[in-house]
Amino acid sequence: MIKLAAFDVDGTLRDRDHLPASTRSAVKRLKESGVIPVLCTGRSEYEIASLREELGMDWAITCNGSHIGYQGKTMFGTPFGKEKVVAWLQEAERSNHALLLYGSEFMYTNRANDPLFLRAREEIGFLEPRLLDLSGGTEALPEFYQSIIFCEELQEGLYTGGNAEEFYIHRWRPWAVDLNPRGMNKAIGLKKLLEHLTIAPEEAAAFGDGLNDMELLAAVGTGIAMGNAIEELKGVARHVTRSLHEDGIAYAVDTWILPG
């Protein structure tokens, strides 16, 4: 019996601002059947708050597993060290790179209207970040759980120090990469939540479509890849449903989670 279903957001639950009516209905049926729906995304708590509220979800695993929130409030988190964040900001200033830094309540940037950020916002959508104020010094910085660095792959070493194993790295564009603290990914975040709720991995389902969903789908009893997912993800999934635009969430819920 499945007790919890975790959903990636972009390409799984929604496509930009398009959230299928069938998906809303499927999530409602899950809740009515006692299944806990959870958002599980690389985005920040701040960015997905309206979606979480629209779907009536309490839990969200964000920042690729580095932050877990209940009704928008931090329950568990693994932030970067503040000294590391300051070093990144200094490097970004030298190298003319833009950073996005994900806190628990807001997301921040070191430079306004960066061309690559604007390109990313056009392609996948972002809320407007706050311009980071460093006047209060290191201690005044909020906790940050994820950074997006707008740089080419050859420039990653400026931020990882050549020690890629010290981070969870998800490059989603040739010019943009997610960095999370070492050991973090969506599966680790979900594992922590399952332990908190005393739910076994075999009693959980997870939906995804991209590279940063690989560990997630492999970590649960019922991993479901969207029909529009990358082929690598379909290879680790227990099931492959229809695409987002073909009511894939509703089909999977009715076929493998709430059959009959």
Share of the chain above pLDDT 70, in %: 100
- Which of 8, 114, 178, 213 does the annotation list as catalytic? 8
| 10 counts as catalytic | no
Q: Report the alpha-carbon distance of residue 5 to residue 108 in Å, rounded.
A: 30
Mean pLDDT computed over every residue of the chain: 95
Confidence (pLDDT) at 10: 95
pTM confidence score? 0.91
The stretch 48-59 carries a mean pLDDT of: 96
Q: How far is CA 75 from CA 61, 69, 189, in A?
A: 10, 5, 11
Residue pair 109/66 in contact by the 8 Å Cβ criterion: no
CATH of 4-77+184-257, one of 3.40.50.11900, 3.40.50.410, 3.40.50.1000, 3.10.310.10: 3.40.50.1000
Cite the beta strand spans of the chain per DSSP E.
4-7, 36-40, 59-62, 67-70, 73-77, 99-102, 107-109, 130-131, 146-149, 167-173, 176-181, 204-208, 222-225, 239-240
Confidence (pLDDT) at 173: 95
User: Are 4-77+184-257 and 82-181 equal in CATH topology?
Assistant: no
Share of the chain above pLDDT 90, in %: 89
Tokens representing 203 are 């009693």
Residue for token pair 């890849």:
225
Is pLDDT of 216 > 70?
Answer: yes
Confidence category of residue 139, pLDDT binned at 50, 70, 90: confident
For the chain, the 3-state helix, strand and coil shares in percent, each to the nearest 5, are 40, 25, 35
Is pLDDT of 125 > 70?
Answer: yes
Is pLDDT of 77 > 90?
Answer: yes
| SS3 (DSSP) at 189 | helix
What fold characterizes domain 82-181? 3.30.1240
Confidence (pLDDT) at 136: 72
Q: Which residues contact 92 (CB under 8 A, 6 or more apart)?
A: 98, 99, 110, 111, 149
The stretch 189-212 carries a mean pLDDT of: 97
Q: Report the alpha-carbon distance of residue 73 to residue 210 in Å, rounded.
A: 27
The pLDDT tens digits for 84-106 are 999 999 999 999 999 999 998 89
How many other CB atoms sit within 10 Å of the CB of residue 13?
A: 26
The pLDDT tens digits for 21-52 are 999 999 999 999 999 999 999 999 999 999 99
| SS3 (DSSP) at 195 | helix
Confidence (pLDDT) at 157: 95
Boundaries of every domain in the chain: 4-77+184-257, 82-181
Confidence (pLDDT) at 260: 65
Q: Which residues contact 241 (CB under 8 A, 6 or more apart)?
A: 207, 224, 225, 226, 227, 248, 249, 251, 252, 255
The pLDDT tens digits for 232-245 are 999 999 999 999 99
Q: How far is CA 166 from CA 2, 29, 67, 81, 191, in A?
A: 34, 41, 18, 13, 20
